[in-house]
Structure 1
């Protein structure tokens, strides 16, 4: 679609919309915070409610498991029934589920309450993103708004270990889940006042078979990724992933035949949408996979405590926030694709620095590398999200937002699962070649088990095991970093060549550029809730 130069410029957002953005930032901050605080609370809740190993696994996983599986359904429901209405309902549910989680008295109660948190959390993210799309019609303002929103998400992840750790020192384990309650109450009060209502005026009917196929395929895929990350390659994770893929194919074929599809296949024919989606997923793939090993390196190789590890991770968090916030500023001088390419080039350098980390004295290089790669990847996430949503019709913003979030969840999960499996294979091979067979069999599972085993052995043998394990793990970090360097470089080249351009980009596209988003002028429907 070509842009009409005579069309009136879109209305610019005012004080009301920017204040409303602050309200929408609350769910982003709290959902990422809620994801991280549980890991700190696990030792405390284990002593309190004594869950079994299987119960503990479900306590940890079911929250993100349900969020990833229900995002697209929630986004579609928001388009049909009202995005503000879904956001307010989700906030109420999230607050109540947080209270239930905080005061859980058994493992079963905690699993159910965490599941309810996941269901409610799935409604918050796409509703927030689609409302930003509808409130900020000016392209530059929308880029800033999405960057602020992404920055709040990153801040929540950074604050989780620090705030959660401080609360666990003074209160019981459930207190960390009460952090979200005041914010959700604030959202319930201010949301209906500041947030306008939007919905698709012609949503069509919902196809129950499509809902079942989509949810089943996503849940099967996500569960397969989690099993793959925890146990490595095997019959079960491969079967689950193939089953999830097969169901996704059946779902896609069904959507092509429906008059009112649950997920419109036409979205994926828009090159800006598809390129941005794939780029974000792959960028998060390399980021999550590398940081999975960095976190272990800091604790098991560098020997930092959990709190010291959190502090050492701050440069990465600050880098991510700065990258997200500076991305829209850079749009004053260059196009979105060039900002993303420049950021990914910085990430390539960060991954290259990570390949130079040694077993001894690697703390400072790791902190520098993570800060650089987070700074470089953040613009791709912020601007890529903006590109995706801007390239789709306004009435489909909820569904598109949910697709974006689902892609990010899958990218994060696949990074840990696939790169985690590669790095673990390198570690095990290195340990097996270095240590005597009897010792290696006990120490080659993970770096954590090697550290634990070294503490049980006589001093000299324990030191030998620990040194060998740390050197092997550093080699695995090197191999993963090389893969991430190459993949990120390929992403940067792809963006530089294809140059995806959202509608209203700050700089006019080149004559040969065919990746402009749609230039329609349809005004989103506004209805009262």
Structure 2
């Protein structure tokens, strides 16, 4: 087996499949395996769609709930923040109680919280609901990939199954704006959350009969200190980044970042201490940090994070540009992304046979380079002549993301020893969410700060409108559009022109940052992963 092939965990057990060489269990019929995979795609699509669908509802949410710029960012980020912080912990819980059982618990809770949050009366309520969705969403993703790895023990079938899983995640992320746009236009913004209920129903109805259970027969004890420390790392750091980008240098955000980094140091020391204790008297480490000593593993993680970083950062500003500056309806802007959706899915599937002829590291490097090319078009192109340039850039970006993240997942799982495959899967999924989180938190915060710093409203605009409307225009692009609607024609056009200039200034800055990051990651992947052999 090649270095990029998936290896089965020596500790995993699976009802209905051969548990190892000594097992006498009859294999399942192949059609049941593929039906089980089809059912597992429902929670994958749900999590992926939820990551991006709400982005297209942000203008409607801003108008309906009178949300500020920071609140809008927290509405987007509360979900992936909690999700990313709990993924590894929930993966460990699934090892103990059963991954299928955890999947069903998470699916039921996700649907219930989605239904309640759809009718949120305030931005604060919506932020809290999004955090609750992150809690239950963290139960879904570790379970899906772990179950897929056990359902498909044969390497080639498993590689295709994981490629379909990755393509489903990528396709769902691109499908999110289409679903979100259509729902917002024909119903109300809460329908974007309510759609989780029908998506989950097929899994809950058919899953018990088709998806086999699997669990670790010898799991270590849960370490609550590690779970708490992991949350204390992520929340303060992301909060500090948001405040710095929005309001500039201040003691509070710097202190929050410093505290988060300190907790990160404590978390690493805690994991090393638990890992070094081989007596079995202490809890198992939440994260086996020795995995990061493998250069292939670490580089693939970086590629995975940056691929999602670029995609979600792009979607954040593209949704606002199409709807607020180009005047497209939510459904029109969603349909405009259909070519990118198709490109993402096709790229993820086509690279599976490609790595039999081309070294995987070069495929990942080329995918990241394509992502850089998409941002090059945005950073140095003219956005004033319609959306064609931005949609072309999205197409290029999605081709790169689809290729890079599929093979990086392959490398992550293949580089880890068999006995650590569960931890590798959890880290891979955490990379997805961290990339999504950082894309919206960092690039979104920089975009907001640039807009606020560069907006120059024309003389007389503030005096001709309510004070609240003028204040909102200074915080968000949606606020500027709202202000223009209550002003006379020439003054309204001047406000929109000023808002476009301010918004585009932020887009050029964030695109340049992403361009540099993607190009650097491409070089890193080409250098570090160049010796990884082709798949068999």
Distance in 2 (alpha carbons) for counterparts of 1:391 and 1:55: 40
> Which residue of 2 is the match for residue 276 of structure 1?
300
Equivalent in 39, 49, 55 of residue 33 of structure 1: 49
Q: 1:472 to 1:376 in 2, by over 3 A?
A: same
Distance in 2 (alpha carbons) for counterparts of 1:112 and 1:425: 24
> Which residue of 2 is the match for residue 311 of structure 1?
335
2:218 is the alignment partner of 1:202: yes
Given that residues 451 and 506 in structure 2 are in contact (C-alpha distance below 8 angstroms), is that contact kept between their aligned partners in structure 1?
yes
> Which residue of 2 is the match for residue 17 of structure 1?
33
Equivalent in 438, 441, 444 of residue 417 of structure 1: 441
Q: 1:96 to 1:420 in 2, by over 3 A?
A: closer
Please list every run of 5 or more consecutive structure 1 residues that lacks an aligned counterpart in the other structure: 508-529
2:524 is the alignment partner of 1:494: yes
Distance in 1 (alpha carbons) for counterparts of 2:134 and 2:313: 23
- After superposition, the C-alpha distances for 1:156-182 in whole angstroms (9 at most, x for unaligned) are 334444444545566676555443334
Given that residues 65 and 223 in structure 1 are in contact (C-alpha distance below 8 angstroms), is that contact kept between their aligned partners in structure 2?
no
Moved more, 473-482 or 376-385: 473-482
> Which residue of 1 is the match for residue 535 of structure 2?
506
* Shift, 1:41, TM fit: 6.3
Distance in 1 (alpha carbons) for counterparts of 2:63 and 2:460: 36
- After superposition, the C-alpha distances for 1:327-355 in whole angstroms (9 at most, x for unaligned) are 21322321211211222232232222223
> Which residue of 1 is the match for residue 503 of structure 2?
473
The equivalences for 1:139-150 within 5 A come to 139-150=155-166
Distance in 2 (alpha carbons) for counterparts of 1:188 and 1:438: 54
Given that residues 107 and 136 in structure 2 are in contact (C-alpha distance below 8 angstroms), is that contact kept between their aligned partners in structure 1?
yes
Query: What is the DSSP-based 3-state SS (H/G/I as helix, E as strand, rest coil) of the residue aligned with 1:471?
Result: helix
Equivalent in 267, 270, 295 of residue 251 of structure 1: 267
2:501 is the alignment partner of 1:485: no
Q: 1:102 to 1:394 in 2, by over 3 A?
A: farther
Distance in 1 (alpha carbons) for counterparts of 2:43 and 2:491: 50
2:156 is the alignment partner of 1:132: no
Distance in 1 (alpha carbons) for counterparts of 2:251 and 2:96: 40
Given that residues 200 and 395 in structure 1 are in contact (C-alpha distance below 8 angstroms), is that contact kept between their aligned partners in structure 2?
no
Given that residues 229 and 416 in structure 1 are in contact (C-alpha distance below 8 angstroms), is that contact kept between their aligned partners in structure 2?
no
* Shift, 1:254, TM fit: 1.3
> Which residue of 1 is the match for residue 24 of structure 2?
none
Moved more, 73-82 or 447-456: 447-456
Distance in 1 (alpha carbons) for counterparts of 2:430 and 2:35: 27
- After superposition, the C-alpha distances for 1:126-178 in whole angstroms (9 at most, x for unaligned) are 11112223333444433322221122223333444444454556667655544
2:89 is the alignment partner of 1:73: yes
> Which residue of 1 is the match for residue 200 of structure 2?
184
Equivalent in 170, 173, 180 of residue 157 of structure 1: 173
- After superposition, the C-alpha distances for 1:173-220 in whole angstroms (9 at most, x for unaligned) are 655544333443332343333333333333222223222212332333
* Shift, 1:501, TM fit: 7.0
Given that residues 392 and 400 in structure 1 are in contact (C-alpha distance below 8 angstroms), is that contact kept between their aligned partners in structure 2?
yes
Query: What is the DSSP-based 3-state SS (H/G/I as helix, E as strand, rest coil) of the residue aligned with 1:360?
Result: helix
The equivalences for 1:294-309 within 5 A come to 294-309=318-333
Distance in 1 (alpha carbons) for counterparts of 2:451 and 2:115: 42
Distance in 2 (alpha carbons) for counterparts of 1:412 and 1:99: 23
Given that residues 426 and 475 in structure 1 are in contact (C-alpha distance below 8 angstroms), is that contact kept between their aligned partners in structure 2?
yes
* Shift, 1:98, TM fit: 3.8
Equivalent in 113, 134, 138 of residue 122 of structure 1: 138
Moved more, 251-260 or 106-115: 106-115
* Shift, 1:457, TM fit: 5.0
Q: 1:256 to 1:326 in 2, by over 3 A?
A: same
Given that residues 81 and 234 in structure 2 are in contact (C-alpha distance below 8 angstroms), is that contact kept between their aligned partners in structure 1?
no
* Shift, 1:445, TM fit: 4.3
Distance in 2 (alpha carbons) for counterparts of 1:468 and 1:21: 50
Distance in 2 (alpha carbons) for counterparts of 1:296 and 1:286: 16
Please list every run of 5 or more consecutive structure 2 residues that lacks an aligned counterpart in the other structure: 9-19, 22-26, 278-283, 464-469
Distance in 1 (alpha carbons) for counterparts of 2:49 and 2:102: 21
Q: 1:359 to 1:209 in 2, by over 3 A?
A: closer
TM-score when normalising by structure 1: 0.80
The equivalences for 1:86-485 within 5 A come to 86-101=102-117, 114-167=130-183, 175-227=191-243, 234-258=250-274, 259=277, 260-424=284-448, 426-427=450-451, 430-431=454-455, 445-457=475-487, 459-485=489-515
Given that residues 127 and 398 in structure 1 are in contact (C-alpha distance below 8 angstroms), is that contact kept between their aligned partners in structure 2?
no
* Shift, 1:119, TM fit: 1.9
- After superposition, the C-alpha distances for 1:463-482 in whole angstroms (9 at most, x for unaligned) are 34433432343343233323
